[in-house]
Amino acid sequence: MARFLALTSRGLGEVLKNEISSLGLKVLKGSQTRVSFESNWKNLYRANLCLRSCTRIIMPILDFNAYNGDDLYNNCKKHDFTKYIRPDQTLKVEVSLSGNGPFNNSIFVAQRIKDVVVDQFNNKFGKRPSVDLEAPDLYLVARVRGSEVSLAVDTSGVSLAHRGYRLDQGMAPLREHLAAGLLLRTGWTGEGLLYDPMCGSGTFLIEAELIRQRVSPGISRHNFAFQKMINFDSGAFDQVVEELMGLERETEGSVSTFGSDQDPRAISASQANIERAGMSDSIGLKQISLHDCQPLGGASSKGLIVVNPPYGERLSNSRDLEELYRLLGNQLKAHFRGWEAWILSGNPDLTSFLGMKSEKSYTVFNGNLECRWLKYAIRD
């Protein structure tokens, strides 16, 4: 069994850990941003295809201390990089630096690691891979914290957050893996009604429907990094894809996932994204003001509301934001009694204007912004 490391946004570590466990994989260690687990390569393919809250999966290969360029080179030389790709393929080394240490130039660190790979190929084959910064066949990730160096092979390639459906974005788009992770945090399994009254580019709606229909988020991708590696087993990969497609379910009857927004540009973006995701028959959309929001399943219906209201990016006047949150709270209390609402707040000063008390609060980062994922039970 190999050891892999799944990465996510800060605050979704527990959600990601539960996802990995649900695949039957052995979790070794978890934190707010990463989960270490054991897997064979077939189940590594499955994890890349299935994990909704994950951004990428890397395979750690080296951990060592280095104090100069020679230390870097000599420690990296202990690993055989020629087992991953052919000499006619390409590579890239990405470096992140932090802490006080001997290295202050990420380009220098990347160059020394690349030198090791190039020298190994030249010595073994008489030719070497070229560098490709856009779509490399071998993507090495180096994390340098002071003098501590961790080197890993990226198995995902393009971030797993990029599902491929979201070309049109709202003014403050929510990344796909974050929307999925927040939905999983609510306990959403796809049963019942779901409504987003400020749907923006429709990410919550699409991710909710992917969960409802049990569609693996990476099922349509054909550009995983592991597919370019020498040990890639296309037969095993095809078998996993077939198994996952067999788990999908068609939703019949009335539409249960709804979204609305007062901005016609947001509705247009949502519609385009929903069409690309193949969800046009499964998700309802309507351009209406927050003033006019009503339970789309009828006055007696109950369900889940998820909403990512603006924190200050879209509205420049703080009084406008206060009024917006006050209106949201009033609408929920007046028309959605018995529903459960989850609100992503990037500004704790604004949530007081909702006029409701949250039952649960989870810290999560939307990019670099610290947010709260707040649960409100709207009483009958």
Is there a single domain that holds both residue 129 and residue 199? no
pLDDT of residue 313: 52
Return phi, psi of residue 307, to 5°. -150, 140
Angstrom distance (rounded) from CA 6 to CA 227 = 18
Residue 337 included in any domain: yes
Instruction: Identify the CATH number of the domain in which residue 108 sits.
Output: 3.30.2130.30
Residue 162 included in any domain: no
* 41 closest CA partner among 86, 4, 68: 4
CB-based burial, 49-74: b 16+ in 10 Å, e otherwise: bbbbbbbbbbbbbeeeebeeeebbee
Is there a single domain that holds both residue 135 and residue 180? no
Angstrom distance (rounded) from CA 331 to CA 291 = 7
Output the six-digit token pair for 377.
Answer: 């039970």
Is there a single domain that holds both residue 19 and residue 132? yes
pLDDT of residue 173: 75
pLDDT of residue 315: 47
Output the six-digit token pair for 302.
Answer: 């109950």
How does the average pLDDT of the chain come out, rounded? 93
Contact 258, 283 (CB under 8 A): yes
Is there a single domain that holds both residue 194 and residue 276? yes
Strands of the chain (E only): list them. Answer: 2-7, 26-30, 34-39, 56-65, 90-98, 130-131, 138-145, 148-154, 193-196, 257-261, 283-287, 303-307, 340-345, 360-366, 369-377
Residue 274 included in any domain: yes
Of the three residues 109, 124, 154, the one that is the final residue of a domain is: 154
Is there a single domain that holds both residue 192 and residue 332? yes
Residue 109 included in any domain: yes
Is there a single domain that holds both residue 200 and residue 84? no
Question: What domain range is 43 assigned to?
Answer: 2-154
Is there a single domain that holds both residue 180 and residue 299? yes
Q: Is the pTM for the entire model greater than 0.85?
A: yes
Which amino acid type is present at position 295? Answer: P
Asked whether the predicted pLDDT for residue 218 surpasses 60, the reply is: yes
% of the chain at pLDDT higher than 70: 95
Is there a single domain that holds both residue 85 and residue 182? no
Is there a single domain that holds both residue 191 and residue 330? yes
Per-residue pLDDT tens over the stretch 281-339: 999 999 999 999 988 766 668 899 999 998 765 445 678 899 999 999 999 999 999 99
pLDDT of residue 316: 53
Angstrom distance (rounded) from CA 62 to CA 81 = 11
* 282 closest CA partner among 305, 309, 259, 299: 259
Instruction: Identify the CATH number of the domain in which residue 182 sits.
Output: 3.40.50.150
Structural domain count, the chain: 2
Is there a single domain that holds both residue 134 and residue 193? no
Which amino acid type is present at position 10? Answer: R
Average pLDDT score over residue span 216-220: 95
Location of structure tokens 């999908």:
248
Is there a single domain that holds both residue 202 and residue 338? yes
Contact 116, 82 (CB under 8 A): no
